[in-house]
Structures are given as structure tokens and as C-alpha cells.
């Protein structure tokens, strides 16, 4: 797989040419060009604030906390404390699916709960309204737990959601907890993941010793959110192998799944970015080891199953996993053989979130397609650079709070390029390091890796490279299509999916084949283009 004949250094210059010098210098550190086909020893700048005025693809801290981490839980009532827009626009937009027929758990996902703050609440304070909302939700549903999410104005006016949570918890006798996840709290969604996960870890994980499920090989899947039903496909495969998926963080999950997840034998981390620290904390507190897995792509799925089986080391399980792979692969191979002649040689660009821009390259490779450029919206350096990068910070897991996790941002403590000697020295001090497969080492020579891509740069990239497909989200979809290039939403899957596991790979091959071979958008002319001369004349006059 090779990149077409475009000089990436020239392309980088073109991307940066319009910026004022200071902005250009900052952006240039977030644009990385591969010099080889393998691992390299350079840094990319990531997880830094977007320059104000730039139209970023990122979302906010509230979105990361409420939408991403807690959104897919079924039986926790999630109340947005804020103006109605925040609750409304995080209502069912992520396509995290639920098993409505599952016994023993309520499903509140179809509801949008919000305090609907008005001007007078901003002026006089919104705590009373929040208490009323909690009482109302309790009276109507009698849930196991209620979570409160702070939006920007809540932090600005100083409502104490934690005090309200404590008071209502004492009054109602159920678990109620608040999140200080105001949208502006961090540089992106990523801060919201931290805030959500820390609280779930301290308030819920390990609070029950009653197992929800039993099995010989019990695993948790961390960082799998069941978008388009991905977790259902992963569970189907695991079940076939005789592996019990105990708790998923947090696709189709329940309060009790979190509360008793410490009874599992192994944590598998699917999306490293959103949750790696929970795996660390569970290892520290409960001694549960963790491994990285990836169920996006048929080969990646097979590799992950083998990794899980190897961890348990049970000969029967190892054999069963091989049987399942052998059973599943022929259908995948047949689907691939059908589409591959049409997809081979096509090109893609992926700018998505904090893990999919990497994971989906596997599927494109299977189809014989080349990724010309890719990047994350909000991932950190370890997600890009890979290598030994996960220090288990020496603090008591229970007391580990967001300030302590900020240590990650400190390059002194958290350097993916740390030398072997320094890692050894730190290991003596109680630090742990793990292998992690990053995006940059996996990309071909001349590929561009761009952090926190923006609207202007996306347009420029498309003009220069004319990829056969662009993968991003809803905000990017229509502007890209107007440039004649099909856009695959790799957040919501555009009503499609699942794309995980073996069946998911087949779905993906078919969808992408259709998109790169019937480029309807390049054949459509926008109505205003047809009458452009008239309009121009009109404005000139």
C-alpha cells in the first residue's frame, strides 16, 4: 500500500499557509508526516487547547461524560442540569444500542432528563430546581441510581451539584452522584471521560459481591459502547468461545454490572483512550490484569480472541477459539473476495474521536485500501505514538482523583518516548508500563497524521488528495459531500452496523464498496452552482 505521488511536505505547507505565524507554529507540531513504514522516534503534539476561532471537530467535556461514558447505561437516570439544548442534543444521537428485552433492568435510555434551566435559575441559582427534578424522577421511576451532569452555566454560577446529590441520596436512600463535567472543563471530550470514569470507579465499582453472571472465563470489556450493536456481535463471538462477557463499560450496561465487575478474571480494553485508567485502577485495587484488544476487522478480532485465550492459557479454550475462528472466517473471506477487486487501490482519510481513526484502518487494509491521512479529535500522545506508555501512578486507587490523573499531561511523568533505561528505573519505584499499539507506527510512509483537524484543513486535504472516501462525523458530513467525496460516519455508522467482529467486517466491506464505487456526490451539482453567474451579477449590481 503506497501513498499517491503528492509531496507531503508541500501538502503540509499548503495547510499552514493561511495561518498567522503563531497559530501556524502550533498547528505544525500537530501535523506529522511518516518518514518510514514503521515506528519512529518523534513526537506529535496532542491533547492541547484548540486555538479560539478555529472550527474544530471536537466536542465538550459534558459530551464526554454524559454522552459517551454514562449515556449507554440502561438503568441509571441521567439528569442534565442545564439549559435544555445540552440534554436535547445528547439524546439518542450516539446510536448506542440496548437490549430492551434483557430481564431485570429498566431502560431509561430513550428518555431525556433535564432541569431545563431558565434565565431566572442562572440569576438566583438552580439547586432548588435540581432537587425537584431528582425527586420527580425518583417518584416516577424509582431507579437504582441517579446521576447529575453539570453543563457550562452550572459551573459559572456555582451550583453545588455534589451537595445536592448528598442531600438527595440521604433523603431517598438510593445512590445519587454528581459530575462536575462543565463543557469548558477540559480541552475536549477526553476530560469528560476521566470525570465520569473516576466517579463510577469510586461510587459504583466493587459495591456488590453478588455476581450478575457466572462463567469459567469471566471478562469485562472496557471502552466498548455498543454503537450500532457492536457489543452484541462481540458478545455473540465470545459466548460461542465459552467466554463470559460480565460487564461492558458501558455499552448496554446496568448499574449492577458496574457494581460487581470486580468479580471478573480479566479486563479487555477496546477503546484505550476513553478508559485505560479504569483498567489501571482495577489492576491496582483488585489485582485484575488487563490486555488491549481490537474487534474492528476480522483479522483483528481473531487476534484478540487468541490473545484472550492465551491469557487464560487453558488448552480447551485455545482449541475452541481456533474452532470459532475457523467457523467464522469462510463467510468473511467470501464477502471480501467479492468486493476486493473493486476496492483495491482506493484511498481513505479518517478523522475520528480517540480510537476509531486507528482501529478502522485495519478494515481498510483488509479491503486493499490505503489510508492517506488520519488523526484523532482528542486522543493523547500514547494513542498516536504507541509503545510503553501507561504508568500506573503510585497512589491508592480509591483516592485517585482527576487532579492526580492530570499527571498524564505532564511530559516529565508521561512520555511515550521514555527510554528503556528510564522505564526500568521507574519500575523500581512502583511504576508499570505496558505495550500499546499506536496509530503512527501503523501508518505507511508519506502518510499524514493530523491532530484536532479543523474544517479549513479538511477542505484543503480533500482538494489536494481527492480521497475516495472520508471518514468523520455529522458536522463534517455535508461539507465533504458537497466537495463530491462520500463521507462515512465512523461515530454513528450512518444508520448501519454493527461493524465489529466477523459479521461486522462483512457489513463494512459491503457498505464501503457501495460508497467508493458509486460516487453520487461527485455527479451532483448544487442548485446554487448552476445559477452562480446570475447571483454574482446580482451582488455586483
Q: Which residues bind ligand CFN (CB under 6 A)?
A: 64, 68, 94, 189, 223, 225, 227, 271, 273-274, 352-356, 491
Decide whether 67 or 297 has the Cβ nearer to ligand HCA: 67
Name the residue nearer to ligand HCA (CB basis): 307 or 477. Answer: 477
List C-alpha distances in Å: 257 to 45, 88, 213, 235, 368: 37, 27, 9, 15, 40
Q: Interacting stretch for ligand HCA, rule CB under 6 A, among 274-282, 287-295, 472-480, 526-534? A: 472-480
Q: Report yes or no: 149 and 179 within 8 Å, Cβ to Cβ.
A: yes
Residue 270: how many CB atoms within 10 A of its CB? 26
Residue with cell 471521560: 193
Q: Which of the listed partners (ligand HCA, ligand CFN, none) does 475 bind, with a CB threshold of 5 to 8 Å by partner kind?
A: ligand HCA
d(CA 339, CA 362): 16
Q: Is 491 in the site for ligand HCA (CB under 6 A)?
A: yes
Closest contact distance (angstroms) between CB of 43 and ligand CFN is 21
The window from 18-26, 212-220, 470-478, 502-510 that contacts ligand HCA (CB under 6 A) reads 470-478
Number of Cβ within a 10 Å radius of residue 538:
9
In whole angstroms, how close is the CB of 332 to ligand CFN at the nearest point?
A: 22
Does the protein bind ligand HCA through residue 498 (CB under 6 A)? Answer: no
For strand 266-269 and strand 31-33, is the pairing parallel, antiparallel, or unpaired?
unpaired
Is residue 481 part of the contact set for ligand HCA (CB under 6 A)? Answer: no
Query: How many CB atoms are closer than 10 A to CB 419?
Result: 9
Within 13 Å of residue 181, how many CA atoms lie on the same side as its CB?
35
* DSSP label of 37: S
Options 48-56, 214-222, 384-392, 487-495: segment touching ligand HCA (CB under 6 A): 487-495
Residue closer to ligand CFN (CB basis): 226 or 256: 226
Q: How many whole angstroms separate alpha carbon 262 and alpha carbon 84?
A: 36
Task: Return the number of the residue (321 or 352) whose C-beta is nearest ligand CFN.
Answer: 352
Q: Which of 100, 334, 425, 474 binds ligand HCA (CB under 6 A)?
A: 474
- Site map (CB under 6 A) of ligand HCA, residues 92-131, x = contact: -xx-------------------------------------
Closer to ligand CFN by Cβ: residue 225 or 499: 225
User: CB of 95: closest distance to ligand CFN in angstroms?
Assistant: 9
Kindly give the pairing relationship between strand 290-292 and strand 244-250. unpaired
Q: Which is nearer to ligand HCA, 59 or 416 (CB)?
A: 59
Dihedral Cα 435, 439, 442, 448, nearest 10 deg: -150
C-alpha to C-alpha distance for 489 and 499, rounded to whole angstroms: 12
Which of the residues 409 through 428 are near ligand HCA (CB under 6 A)? none
Q: Which residue has the cell 500499546?
A: 436
Q: Which of 58, 74, 94, 491 is catalytic?
A: 94
Q: What is the CA radius of gyration of the chain?
A: 24
Phi and psi, residue 471, nearest 5°: -110, 120
| Catalytic residue status for 271 | no
Specify the residue for cell string 482528542. 378
Which of 8, 183 has the CB closer to ligand HCA?
A: 183
**Grid coordinates of 242:** 465459552
User: 474 contacts which partner out of ligand HCA, ligand CFN, none, CB within 5 to 8 A by kind?
Assistant: ligand HCA
Minimum distance of ligand HCA from residue 36's CB (angstroms): 31
Shortest Å, Cβ 360 to ligand CFN: 9
Cβ within 8 Å of residue 511, ≥6 positions away? 488, 496
Q: Select which of 46, 60, 145, 500 is catalytic.
A: 60
Burial of 340 (0-12, 13-18, 19+ CB in 10 A): middle
Which ranges of 386-500 does DSSP label H, i.e. alpha helix? 402-405, 420-428, 439-442, 455-465, 474-482
Which of 3, 27, 56, 59 is in the footprint of ligand HCA by CB under 6 A? 59
Buried b (16+ CB within 10 A) or exposed e, 464-476: bbebbbbbbbeeb
Indicate which residue of 11, 46, 63, 335 is catalytic: 63
Contact between 63 and ligand HCA (CB under 6 A)?
Answer: yes
Residue nearest to ligand CFN (CB): 353
Closest-approach residue to ligand HCA (CB): 473
Whether omega before 246 lies within 30 degrees of 0, making that bond cis, reads no
Annotation marks residue 60 as catalytic:
yes
Question: Per rule CB under 6 A, is residue 353 in the interface with ligand HCA?
Answer: yes
Which residues are part of the catalytic machinery?
60, 63, 94, 193
Interface with ligand HCA (CB under 6 A): 59, 63, 67, 93-94, 189, 353, 473-475, 489, 491-492
Amino acid at each position: 500500500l503506497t501513498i499517491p505521488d503528492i509531496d507531503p511536505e508541500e501538502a503540509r505547507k499548503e495547510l499552514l499557509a493561511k495561518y498567522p505565524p503563531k497559530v501556524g507554529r502550533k498547528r505544525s507540531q500537530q501535523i506529522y508526516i511518516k518518514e518510514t513504514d514503521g515506528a519512529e522516534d518523534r513526537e506529535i503534539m496532542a491533547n492541547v487547547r484548540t486555538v479560539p476561532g478555529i472550527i474544530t471537530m471536537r466536542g465538550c467535556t459534558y459530551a464526554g461524560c454524559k454522552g459517551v461514558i454514562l449515556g449507554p447505561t440502561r438503568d441509571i437516570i441521567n439528569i442534565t442540569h442545564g439549559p435544555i439544548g445540552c440534554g436535547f442534543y445528547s439524546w439518542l444521537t450516539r446510536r448506542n444500542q440496548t437490549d430492551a428485552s434483557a430481564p431485570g433492568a429498566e431502560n431509561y435510555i430513550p428518555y431525556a432528563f433535564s432541569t431545563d434551566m431558565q434565565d431566572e435559575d442562572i440569576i438566583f441559582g438552580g439547586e432548588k430546581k435540581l432537587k425537584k427534578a431528582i425527586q420527580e424522577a425518583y417518584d416516577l421511576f424509582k431507579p437504582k441510581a441517579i446521576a447529575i451532569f453539570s453543563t457550562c452555566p452550572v459551573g459559572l454560577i456555582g451550583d453545588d451539584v455534589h451537595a445536592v446529590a448528598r442531600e438527595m441520596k440521604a433523603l431517598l436512600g438510593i445512590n445519587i452522584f454528581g459530575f462536575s463535567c462543565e463543557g469548558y472543563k477540559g480541552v475536549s471530550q477526553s476530560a469528560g471521560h476521566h470525570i465520569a470514569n473516576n466517579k463510577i470507579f469510586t461510587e459504583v465499582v466493587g459495591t456488590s459481591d453478588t455476581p450478575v453472571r457466572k462463567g469459567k472465563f469471566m471478562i469485562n470489556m472496557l471502552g466498548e459502547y455498543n454503537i450500532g450493536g457492536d457489543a452484541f456481535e462481540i458478545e455473540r463471538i465470545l459466548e460461542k468461545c465459552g467466554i463470559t462477557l460480565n460487564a461492558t463499560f458501558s455499552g448496554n450496561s446496568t448499574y449492577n454490572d458496574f457494581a460487581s465487575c470486580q468479580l471478573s478474571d480479566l479486563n479487555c480494553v477496546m477503546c484505550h483512550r476513553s478508559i485505560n485508567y479504569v483498567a489501571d485502577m482495577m489492576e491496582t485495587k483488585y489485582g485484575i490484569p488487563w490486555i488491549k484488544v481490537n474487534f474492528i476487522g476480522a483479522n483483528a478480532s481473531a487476534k484478540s480472541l487468541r490473545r484472550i485465550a492465551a491469557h487464560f492459557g487453558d488448552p480447551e479454550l485455545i482449541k475452541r477459539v481456533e474452532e470459532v475462528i475457523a467457523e467464522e472466517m469462510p463467510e468473511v473471506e467470501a464477502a471480501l473476495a467479492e468486493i476486493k477487486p473493486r476496492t483495491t487501490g482506493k484511498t481513505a482519510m479518517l478523522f475520528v474521536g480517540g480510537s476509531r481513526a486507528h482501529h478502522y484502518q485495519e478494515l481498510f487494509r483488509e479491503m486493499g485500501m490505503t489510508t492517506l491521512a488520519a488523526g484523532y479529535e482528542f486522543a493523547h500522545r500514547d494513542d498516536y505514538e504507541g509503545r510503553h506508555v501507561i504508568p500506573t501512578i503510585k497512589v491508592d486507587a480509591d483516592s485517585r482523583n482527576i487532579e492526580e490523573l492530570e499527571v498524564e499531561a505532564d511530559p516529565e511523568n508521561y512520555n511515550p518516548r521514555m527510554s528503556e533505561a528510564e522505564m526500568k528505573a521507574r519500575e523500581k519505584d512502583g511504576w508499570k508500563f505496558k505495550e500499546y499499539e499506536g496509530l503512527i507506527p501503523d501508518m505507511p510512509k508519506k502518510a499524514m497524521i493530523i491532530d484536532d483537524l479543523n474544517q479549513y484543513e479538511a477542505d484543503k486535504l480533500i482538494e489536494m488528495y481527492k480521497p475516495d472516501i472520508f471518514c468523520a462525523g455529522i458536522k463534517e458530513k455535508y461539507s465533504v459531500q458537497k466537495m463530491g467525496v462520500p463521507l462515512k460516519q465512523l461515530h454513528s455508522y450512518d444508520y448501519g452496523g454493527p461493524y465489529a467482529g466477523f459479521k461486522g467486517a462483512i457489513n463494512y466491506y459491503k457498505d464501503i464498496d457501495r460508497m467508493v464505487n458509486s460516487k453520487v456526490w461527485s455527479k451532483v451539482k448544487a442548485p446554487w452552482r448552476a445559477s452562480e453567474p446570475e447571483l454574482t451579477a446580482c451582488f455586483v449590481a
